[in-house]
Amino acid sequence: MTQGLSDLDTGPGRLQNRLDTVELAASTPDDEQPYAELGLKSDEYARIRDILGRRPTTAELAMYSVMWSEHCSYKSSKVHLRRFGDLPRSAALLVGIGENAGVVDVGDGYAVTFKVESHNHPSYVEPYQGAATGVGGIVRDILTMGARPVAVMDSLRFGRADAPDTARVLPGVVAGVGGYGNCLGLPNIGGELLFDACYAGNPLVNALCVGVMKHEDVRLAKAEGVGNRVILFGARTGGDGIGGVSVLASETFEAEGPAKRPSVQVGDPFTEKLLIEACLEIFAADLVTGIQDLGGAGLSCATSELASAGTGGMHIDLDTVPLRDSTLTPAEILMSESQERMCAIVEPDKVDAFLAVCRRWDVLATVIGEVTDGDRLTVDWHGERIVDVPPRTVAHEGPVYDRPMRRPADLDDLQADDPAALPRPTTPEELAAHWLAVLSSPDGADKTWVTEQYDRYVRGNTVAAGPDDAGVVRIDEETSRGIALSLDGNGRYARLDPYTGTQLNLAEAYRNVAVSGARPLAVTNCLNFGSPEEPEVMWQFAEAVRGLADACRDLGLPVTGGNVSLYNQTGDVAINPTPVIGVLGVHEDVRTRVSTGWRTAGETVLLLGVTRPEFGGSAWASVVHGHLGGRPPAVDLEAERSLGQVLAALGREGLVTSAHDLADGGLAQALAESALRHGVGARLRLDGDPFTALFSESTARAVVTTTDPEAVRATAEWAGVLVTELGTTGGGGPDAVLAVEGVAELPLAGLRAAWGATLPALFGTPEATVGSVPAGTVPTS
Amino acid sequence: MRIGVITFPGSLDDVDAVRAVRLAGAEPVALWHASHDLEDVDAVVLPGGFSYGDYLRAGAIAARAPLVQDVVDRARSGMPVLGICNGFQVLCEAGLLPGALTRNGHLHFRNRDQALRIQRADTAWTQDYEAGQRIVVPVKNGEGRYVAAPADLDRIEGEGRVAVRYLEGNPNGSMRDIAGVTSENGRVVGLMPHPEHAVEDLTGPSTDGLGFFTSVLKAVVSA
Amino acid sequence: MPRVVVDVVLKPEISDPQGQAVLGALGRLGHDGVRSVRQGKHFVLEVDGTPDRAELQQIAETLLANPVIEDVELRLPTD
């Protein structure tokens, strides 16, 4: 597709062609233009002609096509996402949906901004760079708000763990997330790693970044003040990912074929680190009036969004943009997705100071234009006008579709296929075998293989990271104020019922934040779905949004922003609808946080919450029977809220020594993880049917340990939360066991071997002893 | 007592080194790589990170920074210098410490809580430990495999220059489990593990790392 | 503009896990005849005027390579 542009357009080195100026466009109204190849529908193209009163120039066509793509315009999702904006105004929300990321008041004058973004398709094409630039992009979004980025998380989904393509994609994605985040100096504090055949060919790589600032430091992306300069700073512009936005987000791979695969963006985390430090120095000296990062759609997006959000007028001299590749045409420069670039609006008398900070950090910075009177965005190329558009029509007034929706035809059959009919384990041997199967399945297994590749310690404020349920970061060393974050999704639940499934995902993230002892405060999301042009997918999407909005209203939480990734499908087959939900909570004092593992023998193990026989979409049904059917567990947000209040109170008062939420794999998974964390076992007794007790995925439950069970019981029962005593933690050491009366005596050593071996067996054991001296022969100097 | 922490473009754990210095009871002084001013500090820490992206070799470009040349000169006359992770790589590249750090044997970045044995409890940075003491601090690197030619390794061992060794598993394939080395006079120490990330119960696996930063207080006083 | 090529490789006595990984992959792909792989770096320098071999040798040995573990090989246009 860039080929089509190059034929028409010109730049240095292509002098035999003509430059498509505004003047030329007005005088050649009937020239044919490759709008369809750029992903525009004929009525969209007609609307552009209508807006401009002439045919667009090639550069204008490039801008409209990328900005009106699904990825940039949210044209299929917008009508549904309005539900989030309609939620009651939350006092904690300082900046809401519409900016690069929402901003939340976390107390003491601190504000936190956080957001998740997908980089799914690029990570399939080139796993390392796709994932790396995904991290880079979300970090710049957070930086743009005026915040110092303080941590990242990653939510990853791949095809079957044993599929050959997973072995290609997963190691690259993990190395890319780590390679970029580690080099940037941001701790990775948690996330997800899950497998399902539906993600083969459509892996999901969702990255979250969280940043912290003071209230007064919040920055917005708008261009105001006639005469203010537009400064482009960061990396030079090259041919990276040209057209990637529109092509990647508007067509499926099969339709596209490998020949049209756009060039991959390559990340440079070192430059991004310099950009972060330079920006924070620039913010501290109050040198900008507006700022925007360059992500998808590059300069087209940054200039039109800044102008559109401001007073509307802006002029750019495009030939001043520093290039890495001198053969780029003007349209290509406007569309380039070269990474590690930002655009700032700076008052003329602050330009010198701005450039000085950039020089100090070795960051290239160039004045490329200025804010103008009026409401047109104009772009010149060597003195000739190639763009003259009303920026709002590019950035904010793109097409909006209310696409047809239809409940999936197979949903009734799927929901009727109740897992109650599946054969259940009856003997203790079978129960133990199923327990081990769930625990050692790729979804349930130890994730150390991944998390060891991420720096969790850098910046020295990480209080908790995976495998804790929530990541916890201290934001003030004096007061120990901190935040907790969790990122959760469950495509199986959402496939069975997207409305309920999305609420369950929110409930899990909420619970994970609550078990750390934090008070949940705000929600973000990344909605990964198939093609919006399929009515059944569109129905799933609308139901998911409705479910999330309703649940947020019930819990009194604002949605601060989010990201939509559509067209995650291969041919006719869409992925399971996969809303990934992030919940942010606040710790008044992170020293009172609660972590997941058992540490000491002789403590009482208590289950909080009610267990019902609920197996639809469960890990047990999936792992043991390869079954997906029935209805997901019931949502009870009132119970979640009560549980959250109890957990926060228990943490604050120091009444529990550990807490772990119950989710995928139910009590079986939670008990094993709690025991394996520090190698401390337990002797437990389960009331009623042991199968239901172990494998049900009823919500609003957590396991806690305490030395004061009566106090815990009193606190929980006061809030109406059921407390069931399970038993007592036992000793550690090599003989430690997780024993459940009448079910199993599982030696922790064996459990750990099964749990820990899965990912290394699939993706390779890092051989750690190259060059070392065998044990016992180490010289002592 | 003033302890400088040098920030290079791409330094990451500089804020952590500053915190560790402060918790040890000294005054941290932030130093910028491009200046030529060690500001009368009594000792210097080169922190972890990816200086200049480590794009040429880890620590190679930072080792040629003006301030590092000053550090080399002052170190030769006895000023205590600690290089952590990338800082260790810089000190090796600058020729202050023997050997080199290369890509991990298993080719992955690895972050884990690592057991170490203090081999030398008489350097400027380790005198608050006992010789042979086991400590646990985080290790996190992609290019932390300590290498040298076999004859050089024998010499390093023979001179007692190994300051810290990996225990209970070698995280990166370092030769002879070497985690850190010292200069002949014991004033300069470099190690791949991160003692500055084990100075608070809240954020580290232990507080075992604090000893590096308290040791140097005595070393400077006694010098 | 004259181009000078500098190849940097690990000294023979220093082990090379990246080269080993490539060798392992070759074996799995059925290329049993490859006995050894050593991975290195390849620099291309464009210089003004006639290249000064001594100066380039110094550049190679003091910055492009770490002489503790690496050897350099210099190729000038006249070679």
| CATH number (domain holding residue C59) | 3.30.1280.10
- The rounded distance, in Å, linking the Cα atoms of A70 and A247 is 10
The type of residue at C51 is P
List, in order, residues 6 or more apart from C67 with CB less than 8 Å away.
Answer: C61
Region at A195 (left for phi over 0; alpha for psi -120 to 50; beta for the rest) = beta
The candidate with the shortest Cα–Cα distance to A379, out of A335, A418, A434, is A335
Count Cα atoms within 13 angstroms, Cβ side, for A642: 19
User: What domains, with CATH codes, occur in chain B?
Assistant: 2-222 (3.40.50.880)
Residues of chain B with Cβ-Cβ distance to C71 below 8 Å are none
pLDDT digits (tens, 9 = 90+) for C1-30: 889 999 999 888 888 888 888 888 788 788
Do residues B13 and B5 make contact, with C-beta atoms less than 8 angstroms apart?
no
Q: Taking the domain A425-445+595-760, which CATH number applies?
A: 3.90.650.10
Q: What is the pLDDT of residue B128?
A: 97
- Selected for mutation to probe chain B from A363, A457, A477 (highest B CB count within 10 Å) is A457
CA B164 to chain CA centroid, Å, is 10
The candidate with the shortest Cα–Cα distance to B188, out of B59, B38, B88, B119, is B88
Kindly give the interhelix angle for A78-85 and A535-555, rounded to the nearest 10 degrees.
0
- Selected for mutation to probe chain A from B22, B174, B202 (highest A CB count within 10 Å) is B202
The candidate with the shortest Cα–Cα distance to A223, out of A136, A273, A149, A290, is A290
pLDDT level of residue C57 (50, 70, 90 thresholds) = very high
Residues 161-200 of B with CB under 8 A from A: 161-162, 165-166, 169-177, 194, 196-197, 200
**Rg of chain A over CA atoms, in angstroms?**
27
Residues of chain B with Cβ-Cβ distance to C14 below 8 Å are 102, 147, 149
Do residues B15 and B40 make contact, with C-beta atoms less than 8 angstroms apart?
no
Q: Which of A80, A119, A587, A627 is catalytic?
A: A119
Residues of chain A with Cβ-Cβ distance to B108 below 8 Å are 175, 452-453, 766
**DSSP symbols for A703-739:** EEEES-HHHHHHHHHHTT--EEEEEEE---STT-EEE
Do residues B44 and B85 make contact, with C-beta atoms less than 8 angstroms apart?
no
**DSSP symbols for A540-586:** HHHHHHHHHHHHHHHHT--EEEEEEE---EETTEEPPPEEEEEEEEE
Residues of chain A with Cβ-Cβ distance to C17 below 8 Å are 770
The candidate with the shortest Cα–Cα distance to A454, out of A438, A440, A471, A442, is A471
ipTM: 0.97
Tell whether A115 is in a known binding site.
yes
Backbone angles phi, psi at B8, to 5 degrees: -100, 160
Angle at Cα A739 formed by Cα A736 and Cα A740, nearest 5°? Answer: 165
Residues of chain C with Cβ-Cβ distance to B174 below 8 Å are none
* Structural domain count of chain C: 1
Q: Determine, for residues B108 and A460 on separate chains, whether the beta-carbon distance falls below 8 Å.
A: no
Identify whether A467 is preceded by a cis peptide bond (ω within 30 of 0). Answer: yes
List, in order, residues 6 or more apart from A99 with CB less than 8 Å away.
Answer: A145, A220, A221, A561
Tell whether A503 is in a known binding site.
no
List, in order, residues 6 or more apart from A132 with CB less than 8 Å away.
Answer: A176, A177, A179, A180, A267, A269
The type of residue at A629 is G
- The rounded distance, in Å, linking the Cα atoms of B71 and B52 is 19
Mean pLDDT along residues B183-204: 97
The type of residue at C30 is G
- The rounded distance, in Å, linking the Cα atoms of A2 and A335 is 10
The type of residue at A505 is N
CATH topology of domain A1-67+220-398: Phosphoribosyl-aminoimidazole Synthetase; Chain A, domain 2 (3.90.650)
- The rounded distance, in Å, linking the Cα atoms of A40 and B91 is 57
- Selected for mutation to probe chain A from B108, B119, B152 (highest A CB count within 10 Å) is B108
Of the candidates B100, B107, B150, which has its C-beta nearest C17's C-beta?
B107
Interface residue B152 vs chain A (CB under 8 A) = no
Q: Which residue of A has its CA nearest to B156?
A: A781
**What is the nearest CA distance from B1 to chain C, expressed in angstroms?**
35
Polymer length in residues for chain B: 223
Q: Determine, for residues A779 and B145 on separate chains, whether the beta-carbon distance falls below 8 Å.
A: no
Active site includes A315?
no
* Tokens 């995280």 found at: B171
Q: Determine, for residues B173 and C17 on separate chains, whether the beta-carbon distance falls below 8 Å.
A: yes
pLDDT digits (tens, 9 = 90+) for A36-81: 888 899 999 999 999 999 999 999 999 999 899 998 899 999 999 9
Of the candidates B111, B119, B169, which has its C-beta nearest A455's C-beta?
B111
Catalytic residues of B: 85, 194, 196
Which residue range forms the structural domain that includes residue C20? 3-75
Longest dimension (CA), chain B: 43
- Neighbours of A, requiring at least 3 CB pairs below 8 Å, are B, C
* Tokens 């996330």 found at: A191
Q: Which ranges constitute the DSSP H helices of chain B?
A: 14-23, 66-76, 86-93, 150-158, 210-222
- The rounded distance, in Å, linking the Cα atoms of A349 and A286 is 12
Interface residue B33 vs chain A (CB under 8 A) = no
Do residues B9 and B52 make contact, with C-beta atoms less than 8 angstroms apart?
yes
- The rounded distance, in Å, linking the Cα atoms of A383 and A370 is 15
Q: What is the pLDDT of residue B155?
A: 97
Q: Determine, for residues B194 and A773 on separate chains, whether the beta-carbon distance falls below 8 Å.
A: no
- Selected for mutation to probe chain C from B147, B154, B170 (highest C CB count within 10 Å) is B147
Of the candidates B64, B98, B150, which has its C-beta nearest C63's C-beta?
B64
**What is the nearest CA distance from C17 to chain A, expressed in angstroms?**
9
Do residues A348 and A25 make contact, with C-beta atoms less than 8 angstroms apart?
no
| Residue A608, SS3 per DSSP | strand
The candidate with the shortest Cα–Cα distance to A504, out of A494, A496, A495, is A494
| Residue A677, SS3 per DSSP | helix
Residues of chain C with Cβ-Cβ distance to A770 below 8 Å are 15, 17
Residues of chain B with Cβ-Cβ distance to A456 below 8 Å are 111
Lowest mean pLDDT among A148-152, B182-186, C32-36: C32-36
- The rounded distance, in Å, linking the Cα atoms of A496 and A505 is 13
pLDDT at B71 > cutoff 80: yes
**What is the nearest CA distance from A426 to chain B, expressed in angstroms?**
40
Q: What is the pLDDT of residue A572?
A: 87
Tell whether A265 is in a known binding site.
yes
Strand B162-167, strand B27-32: pairing = unpaired
**What is the nearest CA distance from B144 to chain A, expressed in angstroms?**
12
Instruction: Give the residues of chain A that fall short of pLDDT 50.
Output: 1-16, 244-262, 767-781
Q: What is the pLDDT of residue A698?
A: 98
Q: Which run of H or of E encompasses A139?
A: helix A127-144
Q: Which residue of B has its CA nearest to A764?
A: B106
Q: Between residues B37 and B124, which one has the greater pLDDT?
A: B124
Angle at Cα B161 formed by Cα B159 and Cα B164, nearest 5°? Answer: 145
* Tokens 């060393």 found at: A477
Q: Determine, for residues B15 and A460 on separate chains, whether the beta-carbon distance falls below 8 Å.
A: yes
List, in order, residues 6 or more apart from B154 with CB less than 8 Å away.
Answer: none
Of the candidates B15, B108, B177, which has its C-beta nearest A459's C-beta?
B15
Q: What is the pLDDT of residue A258?
A: 33
Do residues A224 and A164 make contact, with C-beta atoms less than 8 angstroms apart?
no
Tell whether A119 is in a known binding site.
yes
Residues of chain B with Cβ-Cβ distance to A356 below 8 Å are none
Q: What is the pLDDT of residue A685?
A: 96
Of the candidates B64, B100, B104, which has its C-beta nearest C69's C-beta?
B100
* Tokens 């296929």 found at: A417
Average pLDDT, chain C: 89
The percent of chain C in helix, strand and coil, each rounded to the nearest 5, is 30, 25, 45
Q: Determine, for residues B175 and A590 on separate chains, whether the beta-carbon distance falls below 8 Å.
A: no
Kindly give the interhelix angle for A164-184 and A127-144, rounded to the nearest 10 degrees.
40
For A722, other C-beta atoms within 10 Å of its C-beta total: 15
Burial of B144 (0-12, 13-18, 19+ CB in 10 A): buried
List, in order, residues 6 or more apart from A39 with CB less than 8 Å away.
Answer: A65, A69, A246, A247, A250, A251
